Chains A and B, each alone.
Chain A
C-alpha cells in the first residue's frame, strides 16, 4: 500500500538579509545552510494497518508524511502510495487519501460546516446518494448534526476536529493520514475520536497516525514506528516499544495531613515531593492505577490525585 525506500529530505534554509530590498539581495546571494530532516528511511505499510508514527518535535515525522502525501519532493529515494508516486501523479494519488493536519484546517473558515462538505463532495465527485449515506454514518458516530449549520470559525476545537476527520473521509479514501488529531482536546473529545478511528480502520481504511499522546498509540495502533533525527529507531508492536522504554506512568497523591516517609515495597519507589505529596512511578503492564490507589490509601487519607503519563520526548530519549 505504502512503500518507502531510502527516503531522504534535505532542506535549504536561506539566510534572509536584513534591510531594504532584503529579499532581492538574499535572492542573489543564496547564502544559507542545509538541514537533513529525513535521513535514508525505508518501510512498508500494508492495507488495513493502523500505524503510529512518533518522535519528538523536529524528528522528521511531518516531513515524512508530507512526502507520502505529495506535498514535499524527496531529495533522494522513492515513495510509492497505492502503486503510484505521490509527486509524479499527485492528483491521482491524493484523490485516494484523506489527510488531517491537526493544526491546520481543511475546511472553509467562513462557511457553515454543511457547505464545506457540499463543496468537498463536488471536489471529489462524490455521488449524491453516497454522500447522504456517508453523512448519516458520520452523524451517528460523530454527532455532526449538532453544529451542521455553524460556520467553521465558530466551532470549538473538538467540534472542528470531528468535522475535519469526517471531511477527510467523505470521499472514502483508502488511506488516512492523521497528524496530531487529538492535540488540545479534552478527554471526552479524544475518546470520541479514538472510537471513530477504530471503527474506520475496522472497515478497512489504512491509517498512519502521528501523535504526542502515547495513549492514542496504545489504544489504536498495532504497530509503532519511532523516528528521531531523521532515522527510524524502532519499528514494531506497542509491546515491543514498551519493552524498550518501559511504560512508566507516575501517580501523584496529595494527602490530607503530613505522612512520615514510608516505602511501599513490591518494587515500587515513592518520591516524597513534600511531606504530604508523594509521587510513585509504576509500570502499567504490571500495576493498575486502582491497585496502586489501594496501596497509597493505606498510608493516609487522600485529598487529591492525578496521573502523569510518559511523554513521547522522554520515551524516545530512553531509546538511545
Chain B
C-alpha cells in the first residue's frame, strides 16, 4: 500500500467518481465540482506563465516588439463581451481570427482532405501489377465511390444509382462495425487505466 499522501488523495477522488456507478451521491458531486475548479485554476496559471508572460510581457518589455500593441488592442476587444452595451465590438477580433483562419486553412484543407484523398483512391497501373494489391485497391475504389453515392441525395436512389448506394450501405456498416469494436476497446482501456492505478499505485497488489 502506498505511503504517499498524494496517492491516497488520488485514490479517494477516483473512488468518489466511481461511486456514481451505484447511484448519484455527495462524494461524486464533490469530485465533479472540484474537477471543474481545479481544471479552471490550472488553465489560469498555465496561461499566465506560458502565454501572458512570454507572449505579451517579455516581447514588449525586453524585445521592444511594439508592433504587437496592434493585435493586443484588437484582442482586448474580446473583453467587450463582458459589457453587454459594447459586446458587439468583440466581433472585430473574432472576424480577424475567423477571416485569417479561413484564408490560411481553406486551400490546405482542400488539399489534405479532398485532393490527396481522391489521389489515393485512383487506380494506377503500378497498383494493379500485383494481384493482391489490385484486389485491395479495387475494394477501396468501389467503397469510396459507393459511399459517396450513398450520401449523394440530389439523385433518387433508384436503378443503377440505387444499386451502388446499396453497396455503399454495406461499406458503411463495415466501417461502423470497426468503429464500434474500436470504441469498446477504447472505453475498456480507460477503465483498465484506473484499475491499474488503484491496484498498483495505491494498493500495491500488482507485481
Do chains A and B stick together as partners?
no
